[in-house]
Amino acid sequence: MKRMVAGPNSGRALDAAALDAHAWLGLMISAALYLICLSGALAVFNQEFERWEQPAVEEDTRVRPELAAQGLEHFVERYGRDTGHFHVVFPTSGIPRLVVENDDIAHFVRDDATLGAVESAPWTRMLIDLHYYLHLPKNVGMILVSVCGALLVALIVSGVLAHPRIVRDAFRFRRGGNGTQANIDLHNRLSVWGLPFHLTIAVTGAYYGLVGLLVSLAAHAFFDGDTQAVTAPVFAPEPSGYGVEGAELPDIARAVDHVLREDPEGRPIFLTIHDPGTVDEFVEIYVQQPGRLIYSENYRFSPDGELIGRGGYRDGAGGKQFVYSLYRIHFGDFAGVGTKVLYFILGMMLAVVSATGVSIWLGKRKRRTMMDALWPAFVWGTPIALATSAIATLAGGAGIAGWVFWLVLLVTTSLGARLDAGLVRQRYPLLLGGCLITLVVLYVAHNGSAALHVASWPVTASLLCFAFALLWPLSYNRLRRPQGRAGDSLARR
């Protein structure tokens, strides 16, 4: 990659060097960053997508301790106790459904406490895995994605330094020309005004994969390799010695009852039975706190339902609260659908920043190469691949959603190499619109009347609106063409 700017003169050396660094780094991580940003913006709605994938499940927003305990008993009767954890996900978790699960399988619980359908949201899982790991092996993928977060901070810093007209251009947006100026203005306006959000997402995103590096370095430097000693001030250590080897299921109804009385404002999210049937067994209930960004306050109980203590996240040290708030700050999962919509829009803006960054670099070059068409094909091919993987999932290919995604992305991007960039920008959005219409038609055919359930229609309606917005130019052009011809003939007369 050669320098984007001619040699820097003495007065603007920092701008030019910053622009060089910004361009190099942007090109290096642009594709990964675009995938992470787009999937992240969509993953804000992961709970809504999960409900949408299984719309026919019974829903209820109440937390009923007895029902949860009976549901868990039925689950253990069917699957046994040979697991490291049991979980009960409450209907106040964001998805109004009661779920019982072990480390391998999850079931919905019906109103009569019998086990309902197996929880299965393969497309949502695929989307989340794309955002977390880029579908790489989990350890490697998460570190890579987090490094992208740290590099996004570098992009933000170098971008600000490379932008000497940051104030002079604060509201400028020039369309037309060959499109490069519009891309530059869009890239800069979105980057500058969205800077607080971008920085927040980058810093919190860097945490997940890189915290392991920090813990490991600190443990070996100051605690003789004891990682628990590093994390203990933040994450309350697990209690032990409260369980009995081979004991019966713990009294979770009593524990949940206790939480509902002790913390009436809180929303129980889920419950975990750690190391069931061992001496280390204990019950932990995660309770979301209204008005707070912390993930939850955690109540810990012995197997007989006696309170052992709290995690201390609600009123612990500021640093502890900060670290435990990173998840909700990153994913916007703290104040209902309104905040999710805000995060979705801002996340899409960041995806547009990633996409336009490369387009600017391509547009400034004096020659055209295959890359000029490959990049827009990749940008538009990604949502097409996401839509196609959802279609494949509905058509019965639940286990292949990830493979379909990458295959379609490969095909659409490679096809771009054979097309003109303008044609890609014109046709691929129409293709995406077509894929979304197909997805909705298949979804309605697959789910019948359940497609009108409150769990599904908001997502279906949003998909339809987006599809029609993409297909609008098609109808507009068709309607307009005869008028244009009529106008021509009138002019000739």
Map the footprint of other proteins across residues 280-299, applying CB under 8 A: 291-293
Minimum CB distance to other proteins, residue 18 (Å): 6
What is the x/- site pattern for other proteins, positions 410-449, by CB under 8 A? ----------------------------------------
Identify residues 250-279 at the interface with other proteins (CB under 8 A).
Answer: none
Q: Does 348 bind other proteins (CB under 8 A)?
A: no
Neighbours of 364 (CB within 10 A): 13
Among 91, 149, 243, 311, binds other proteins (CB under 8 A): 149
**CA–CA distance, 374 with 428 (Å, rounded to integer):** 12
In the complex with other proteins, the residue whose CB is nearer, 78 or 365, is 365
Task: Examine residue 368 and tell whether it contacts other proteins (CB under 8 A).
Answer: yes
Query: Any contact of residue 323 with other proteins (CB under 8 A)?
Result: yes
Q: Write the binding mask 193 to 232 for other proteins: x where contact by CB under 8 A, - elsewhere.
A: xx-xx--x-xx--xx--xx-xx--xx-xxx-------xxx
- Please tell me the distance from the alpha carbon of residue 76 to that of residue 251, in angstroms, as a whole number: 14
C-alpha span between 296 and 351 (Å, rounded) = 30
Contact by Cβ (8 Å): 250, 211: no
Nearest distance from residue 378's CB to other proteins, in Å? 15
Of these, 367, 478, 492, 493, which contacts other proteins (CB under 8 A)? Answer: 367
Among positions 325-344, residues that touch other proteins (CB under 8 A) are 325-326, 329, 334-335, 339, 342
- Residues in contact with other proteins, counted by CB under 8 A, come to a total of 83
Our CB check for other proteins shows the closer of 143 and 249 to be 143
Single residue of 164, 233, 309, 487 touching other proteins by CB under 8 A = 233
Between residues 219 and 442, which has the closer beta carbon with respect to other proteins? 219
Q: At 294, phi and psi to the nearest 5? A: -60, 145
Parallel/antiparallel/unpaired status of strands 99-101 and 85-89: antiparallel
The nearer residue to other proteins, 118 or 213, going by C-beta atoms, is: 213
Q: What are 351's two structure tokens?
A: 């995806």
Contact between 316 and other proteins by CB under 8 A: the answer reads yes
252 vs 421, which CB is nearer to other proteins? 421
* Binding-site member from 87, 320, 330, 340 for other proteins (CB under 8 A): 320
Rank residues 60 and 420 by Cβ distance to other proteins and give the closer one: 420
What part of residues 51-110 is at the interface with other proteins (CB under 8 A)? none
Whole-angstrom Cα distance, residue 298 to residue 346? 31
User: Binder to other proteins among 76, 126, 127, 151 (CB under 8 A)?
Assistant: 151
What is the full DSSP assignment across 132-164? Answer: HHTTS-HHHHHHHHHHHHHHHHHHHHHHHHT-T
Distance of alpha carbon 210 from alpha carbon 489, whole angstroms: 67
Spatial separation of the C-alpha atoms in residues 352 and 20, rounded to whole Å: 21
Structure tokens at 366: 């004096």
Q: Determine the Cα–Cα distance for residues 467 and 385; give it in Å rounded to an integer.
A: 15
CB of 150 to other proteins, least distance (A): 4
**Can you give the C-alpha Rg of the chain in angstroms?**
26
Q: Check: CB of residue 348 under 8 Å from CB of residue 42.
A: no
Give the integer Cα–Cα distance in Å for 295 and 284. Answer: 14
Contact segment (CB under 8 A) with other proteins among 259-267, 363-371, 387-395, 460-468 equals 363-371
CB of 207 to other proteins, least distance (A): 5
- Return the residue of 56, 115, 144, 348 that touches other proteins, per CB under 8 A: 144
Residue at token pair 């502890």: 320
Q: Is 171 in the site for other proteins (CB under 8 A)?
A: yes
Pair 357, 24: CB distance under 8 Å: no
> Shortest CA distance to 251 belongs to which of 424, 381, 68, 427?
68
The residue (of 150 and 430) whose beta carbon lies closer to other proteins is 150
Distance CA 101, CA 201 (A): 31
476 binds other proteins (CB under 8 A): no
Contact between 7 and other proteins per CB under 8 A: no
- Dist CA 240 CA 251 (whole Å): 17
